[in-house]
Every structure is written in structure tokens, then in C-alpha cells.
Amino acid sequence: MQAVRMSMGAAVLAMAFAANAAEVEVLHWWTSGGEAKAAGELKKMLEAKGYKWKDFAVAGGAGENAMTALKARVVSGNPPAAAQIKGPAIQEWGAEGVLASIDDVAKKDGWDKVLPPAVSSVMKYKGQYVAAPVNVHRVNWLWVNPLLLKKANVKAPTTWEEFFKVADALKKAGIQPVAYGGQPWQDATVFETVALGVGGADFYKKAFVQLDQPTLKGPTMVKVLETYKRIKPYTDKASAGREWNLVTSMVINGTAAMQFMGDWAKGEFLAAGKVPGKDFLCVAAPGTASAYTFNIDSFVMFKLPNKNAVKGQKNLAETLMSPQFQELFNLNKGSIPARMGMDMSKFDECGKKSAEDFKADAAKGTLLPSFAHGMAMSSATQGAMYDVISQFWNDDAASAQKTAEKLATAAKVR
Amino acid sequence: MSAISRPAHYGFAEHWLPRLVLAPSFLLVLVFLYGFIAWNGALSFTASRLLPNYEWVGLAQYEALFASERWWVAVHNLFIFGVLFIGGAMVVGIVLAILLDQKVRAEGTLRTIYLYPLALSFIVTGTAWGWMLNPGLGLEKLMHDWGYAGFSFDWLVNPDRSIYTIVIAGIWQSSGFVMALFLAGLRGIDDSIIKAAQIDGAGLPRIYWRIVLPAMRPVFFSTLMILTHIAIKSFDLVMALTGGGPGFSSDLPATFMYQMAFTRGQMGLGAASAMMMLLTVSAIVVPYLYSELRRSRHV
């Protein structure tokens, strides 16, 4: 079946590419403001090298629609040159036998030297590069409105003990302490941040990367769950189902003081004309200053039968990893370059801090994949975890002990 | 000679033309409906993950499905939603139809007003009701702003109640449609029967209960059929109103299937849940069709 599919696809593609030889088709879901601008830069760079960029943009934030479209294209044997896929999903696609190796490009440009192993291992399938990373998002941030903290006469918290004290003080001053979005992925985002803060990097790695059963069921996990649930009284009732950007706008407008979210939230602050360090603060979430949960966007290369198209694809990979593109793209997107050792002078305060921490944590081995953002486990396992965490958050009677056991069961879903 | 051949030629056309005309659509239905149902059935016995593959695993996907807590929440919700939505839309629709049938003034306008929700998609309905029921934006905030500080209506964000908000929006959407069907049925009833009953001294409620409604059996059943399949395939309303949440408390089998097959890379499990939905629909439709077809043959 695989062979039939591929050869059918080969025939279709051969016909398609005979007409315009050097065309690079890229599937992505960068359709919102800053993202679309970033994609436009990539297009310009490729066209300067003499390739024709063919946009295959599918709207929809988390890329669900794009993935459905991609599956249809791959099954029909007509994949695009590259598609925006990240994390362990790269391995899942690799297992389907449809990805192309770009190891020669990676060797030539020395990717192994500029990427920390925690990142490059995600980009490889069976030891060969099949994907190029374009950015690094840090997930374990706490976004703070400093004016509200001043009103309550408190400072941004650095530990969980402090966090609850600050939250109490804010509540007393009549300010809603935490802005929260009750969607499963946001529940998981806050949960993993709490887990990292309470349990530390080793616990995080054991629980969510190695899916170690005793750790998932153990007393530390119970404590993590209890701490996570303690946040709930500091959120408002209407938070269920709220979109993350609406949550951020609550911090911007001063209706709530803090939000746990990755650094894509920075884009919202900047778009509202706020200045980092003055109108808003980016601090590492309580207890997580010495670790870094990452969410990396990458482009995965698909097997193409046409030689010219393959050339275009390799050129695309080269361009994606070039320092110029990484800088331009990330200035627009709010994240930091995946390449290390780049000049960060054009980036803002949060970006600089993120890049410094990224380097330090890469050296210490505390770069951790964010499981809430599809970097640590298969989508099936991740989904099962989401279910358990959301249910725990929403059910006020749920027991932390039983939920820890449910997490362990969820980790067995493969 | 031509007089003889012409009827023969005509007979050939009469024999083959309908088949020829129907063949393409028959073929399309055969492939794209039954063919894909069969393919889905086959997938539900495989280990398909991200993409379809054909590694046979027997009933493992069904076992996983029945072991899944979330699936049973979805089934339980479907039961609540089905019963309340179908019952509610029926009752509201029939009552509206009967009231409108009293030769009221401006009936046309009223009918349009009641029927209008049907012109909106479930997505619009879900989004609008999502705003109205949101405690931070809608009804609850309005009442608080008006000074009723103790007022609380937070079903949308309460995991034990969220499914009922879907029922409310569903009834709002569909009862106008039920009304239209029943109104057409009511208009089809012979006036003289009602007049005769009135002469015999029966009151209006009695006339409706004993004479009119029983005469509307076919309308009743076709409405039931339509509402049932709306309930079972209901997807867009849930996605727009609650997104299946809080958590997965308002999940229905249709949203479960989509999540598993397309976002979680568990295509086999999704296929198995789709088969369960198909079986549920056929458990209702097949006996109905059977009884209807038998009736028409005998009558």
C-alpha cells in the first residue's frame, strides 16, 4: 500500500513540477499579524535565491486544520516540500516513512554546533536531521502588571510560598490576582509550570519526559496537584474556555495582575503599546528560575521525487537556519532564535533574558521540553494527560491522590 | 414499419433511461457513502495512528474505547442531551404551532420570528449563547449590574451543568423548525372534523389532544427522526458554545471522535467511536424505516 501510494504520488508530483521546476511549497499556520510578517520575510529570502515560494497557509491557531489538510495531502501522495510540525510528532511522521533527510545541509552548516542537544535530538529521526528549528519559546513565564503589584505593595513572587502571599495581598486590595484561561492546553501549561516549580527539573524530566510511573503517582506529584489547585480561588469564575489572548488583555488592562503563559503573550503586550520592564514584567514562574521549558517551532521536510524540488527544499532548510532569518523572524514573532551565540542586541529585555537563560540551561542540562505544547510526548499521551488535568481543575471535589494515579494511567496511553 | 419500431424503441428508452440517469448518483452514493463507511469500519480494527495503516488489531480499539472514561462521559452527555433536546424542542414547537394555529393577527410575522433561529448556523447560535451565558459577560453580569448581587447562573462554566446549556441553545435553535412542520400538518387537517367535534361539545384542548395530534403521527415521526440525528451528530454547537469543556464535561461522541481521529493521532480509536455512533443511529432508524415501509406496503 505504501509503495503504491508513493509511486502514485511520484507520478502526480513529476507532472506538477515539470511545469515550474524550482517551486518550494510550505505549509504553515502563520496567518496572524506578526506571524504573517515573519513568513513574508522567509518568502523574500527564498525568492532572492531564485526559488518560487508557494504558500500553503491554513488558518487556525494551534494548527489543527493545517494538520488535517496535511494528512490529506500526504495520504494522496502529494506532500508539500515542508510543513510546520514540532516535537515528538516529527518522530510520528518519521515512522510513517514520508520524511526526507537534510543531513547534508546540516553537516555543511554545522547545525550540531549551534543547536543544544536537547533541541537537535528533536529535529532528528533515526540520527538524521529531518527538520529545521526556527525559534524557541520559553513557556515558564509569569507575566505581571507592576502597577497593580505596587497598589497592593508587593513584589513579583519568586517561590510558590511568596506567590500565595502576593495573591492574598492582591485579593485584599480588591485586585484579581490571576488571569486564567480554562482551556485544556492552558490548564496543562499552568500545570507543567507548577510541576517544574514545585518538583524541580529532575522531577519534571522523570514525570513528563520519561513517563516514570512511580514519579507520576508519587507524593511530589500529589503536592504539585495540590499547589496547582490552590491557584483556583485567585481566578475568576468566567475563566472557563477563555482564549489565552483575552487572558493576556486582562493583565494589560489591569483587571488582573498575573498570567502564566509562554512568551507569545509578549506579542499581545507589545501590540498594545506596552513597554517591557515598565508596563509589564516578564519573570520566571515561581520556583522555575533555574530551568527552561521550551516550545520550538520547526519545519519538517517531506520526501519529494523531483530533483529540482529537492534542491529548493535544501535551500529552504539552509535559509531557515541562517542567522539573518532567525533574527528577522524572531523579532517579529516574540520568540528567540534557536541558534545559539547570536547577537541579541536588537531584542527587547524579555528576549535577552530568555536567550541568556536558554544558554545557561543548555549548559546545565535543564532545558526541558514543554509537554503542554507537544514537545515531550506523543499527541495521544498528551491528550490523555490534558483530560486528567482539566478534570482535576474543574472538579472541586477531585482528590489529588486519585488524580496522580490517573495521570500515571494516562501516561500508559501510547 | 416505423409504426412498429417506434414503440419498441420507446420501450428501450423507458427501460434504460431511468437507470442510466440514476447510475452516476447511485455510484457516487455507493462509493462515497457506503464505501467510506466500510473503510471506516475496517480502520476501526487497525492500529491506525496519525495516518491510516492496515495493521490488524482486532477489537483492541473498541476495548480501549470502552475503557476510556471520556467516552462514557460523552455517551452519558448524549443521553441527557438527546432526551432533553428532542423532548424540549418537540414540546416547545408543538405548543408554538398550536398557539399560532388560532388564526391570530400578524401570523406571518410571528411565524417568521419563531422560524428565524433556524436560519442561523449552530456555530452562530453557540457563540451567541456562549456570550449570554458567560457569567463574566452575559446574564449573570447583567443581573449583578442591575443590583441583584445574589443572582447566580453559571451553568456554562460548571462541569456538572454545562451539558444543559447546550440543551438550551439547541432547543432555542430547533423549536421554530418543529413549529413550522407541525403548523403545516395542522393546516392539512380537515376543518370539518374539528367543527363536528365542536358541535358535539368538545373543548379546544380536548379536540387537540384526542383528534388533531393523533392525526399528526407522520409529522411527529419525521420530526423525531430529524431531531434524533441532529442530536447524535451534534458537533458545531458544542464546539462553539463550550468547546467540550470545562475540561471534557460537555463532550459528545461527535466531538470525541474528532479529537481522537484528527488532533490526538488515534485514528483507529476515532474510527471505532464513529462506528458506535453509526450503530446508535441505525438502532433507531432501521426499525422505523422497517415499520414505515411495511405499513405502506399493507395500506
pLDDT in tens, B90-139: 999 999 998 888 888 888 888 888 888 888 888 899 989 988 888 888 88
Between A96, A182, A238, which is nearest B245 by CB?
Answer: A182
Contact B246 A237 (CB under 8 A): no
Tell me the shortest Cα–Cα distance from B120 to chain A, in angstroms: 23
Contact A240 B156 (CB under 8 A): yes
Residues of chain A contacting B262 with CB distance shorter than 8 Å: 64, 67-68, 71
- pLDDT the model gives residue A1: 43
Using alpha carbons, list the distances in angstroms from residue A410 to A57, A212, A213, A223, B244: 33, 12, 10, 19, 19
* Grid cell listed for B153: 447562573
Neighbours of A278 (CB within 10 A): 10
Cβ pair A264, A137 in contact under 8 A? yes
Nearest chain A alpha carbon to B259:
A383
Higher pLDDT, A215 or B205: A215
Round to whole Å and give the CA distance between A339 and B238.
42
A82-137 confidence digits (pLDDT tens): 998 888 889 888 988 899 999 999 999 999 999 988 889 899 999 999 999 999 99
Residues of chain B contacting A67 with CB distance shorter than 8 Å: 262-263
B145-177 confidence digits (pLDDT tens): 898 888 888 888 888 889 999 999 999 999 999
- pLDDT the model gives residue B10: 65
Percent of chain B with pLDDT over 90: 34
What average pLDDT does chain B have? 87
Closest CA to A212 of A403, A379, A412, A373: A412
- Binned at pLDDT 50, 70 and 90, residue A255 comes out as very high
- Binned at pLDDT 50, 70 and 90, residue A159 comes out as very high
- Binned at pLDDT 50, 70 and 90, residue B53 comes out as confident
How would you classify the pairing of strands A298-301 and A131-133?
antiparallel
Is the pLDDT score of A341 beyond 60?
yes
Mean pLDDT of A268-276: 87
**Residues of A at the B interface, defined by Cβ within 8 angstroms:** 1, 64, 67-68, 71, 74-75, 89, 92-93, 96, 182-184, 187, 236-241, 378-380, 382-383, 387, 390-391, 393-395
Nearest chain A alpha carbon to B70:
A387
Which among B46, B50, B161 is the top mutation candidate for probing chain A, defined by the most A β-carbons within 10 Å of its own β-carbon?
B50
Alpha helices in A272-399 (DSSP H): 307-321, 323-333, 349-364, 379-394
Higher pLDDT, B283 or A332: B283
Between A183, A237, A390, which is nearest B135 by CB?
Answer: A237
How many contacts (CB atoms, under 8 Å) link A and B? 86
- pLDDT the model gives residue B297: 58
pTM value surpassing 0.95 = no
Cβ pair B222, B85 in contact under 8 A? no
Contact B263 A383 (CB under 8 A): yes
Neighbours of B175 (CB within 10 A): 26
Residues of chain B contacting A64 with CB distance shorter than 8 Å: 262-263
Mean pLDDT of A62-85: 83
A344-395 confidence digits (pLDDT tens): 888 988 899 999 999 999 888 899 999 999 899 888 899 999 999 999 999 8
Tell me the shortest Cα–Cα distance from A189 to chain B, in angstroms: 14
Is the pLDDT score of B23 beyond 50?
yes
- pLDDT the model gives residue B149: 82
Residues of chain B contacting A236 with CB distance shorter than 8 Å: 136
Mean pLDDT of A229-234: 94
- pLDDT the model gives residue B296: 63
B245-287 confidence digits (pLDDT tens): 788 889 999 999 988 888 888 889 999 999 999 998 888 888 8
- pLDDT the model gives residue A34: 67
Round to whole Å and give the CA distance between B220 and A318.
66
Round to whole Å and give the CA distance between A167 and A180.
14
Alpha helices in chain B (DSSP H): 2-29, 36-43, 60-67, 69-100, 107-115, 122-133, 139-145, 162-187, 191-199, 204-207, 213-215, 217-233, 236-241, 253-258, 267-298
Cβ pair B164, B84 in contact under 8 A? yes
Which among A379, A402, A412 is the top mutation candidate for probing chain B, defined by the most B β-carbons within 10 Å of its own β-carbon?
A379
Is the pLDDT score of A31 beyond 80?
no
Contact A395 B248 (CB under 8 A): no
Contact A238 B136 (CB under 8 A): yes
**Is ipTM over 0.85?**
no
Between A74, A241, A379, which is nearest B243 by CB?
Answer: A241
Between A96, A379, A393, which is nearest B247 by CB?
Answer: A393
Round to whole Å and give the CA distance between B139 and B151.
9
Place of cell 462514557: B72
Between B50, B248, B265, which is nearest A390 by CB?
Answer: B248
Contact B247 A237 (CB under 8 A): no
Q: What is the DSSP letter of B191?
A: H
Residues of chain B contacting A243 with CB distance shorter than 8 Å: none
* Grid cell listed for A339: 541558534
- pLDDT the model gives residue A263: 87
CA of residue A368 relative to chain centroid, distance = 12
Tell me the shortest Cα–Cα distance from B59 to chain A, in angstroms: 16
Residues of chain B contacting A187 with CB distance shorter than 8 Å: 247
Tell me the shortest Cα–Cα distance from A343 to chain B, in angstroms: 37
Residues of chain B contacting A378 with CB distance shorter than 8 Å: 265
**Residues of B at the A interface, defined by Cβ within 8 angstroms:** 49-52, 54, 69-70, 130, 134-137, 154, 156-157, 159, 242-243, 245-249, 259-260, 262-266
Using alpha carbons, list the distances in angstroms from residue B19 to A253, B22, B23: 68, 5, 6
Mean pLDDT of A32-51: 81
- Binned at pLDDT 50, 70 and 90, residue A62 comes out as low
Tell me the shortest Cα–Cα distance from B107 to chain A, in angstroms: 40
Between A68, A96, A380, which is nearest B264 by CB?
Answer: A380
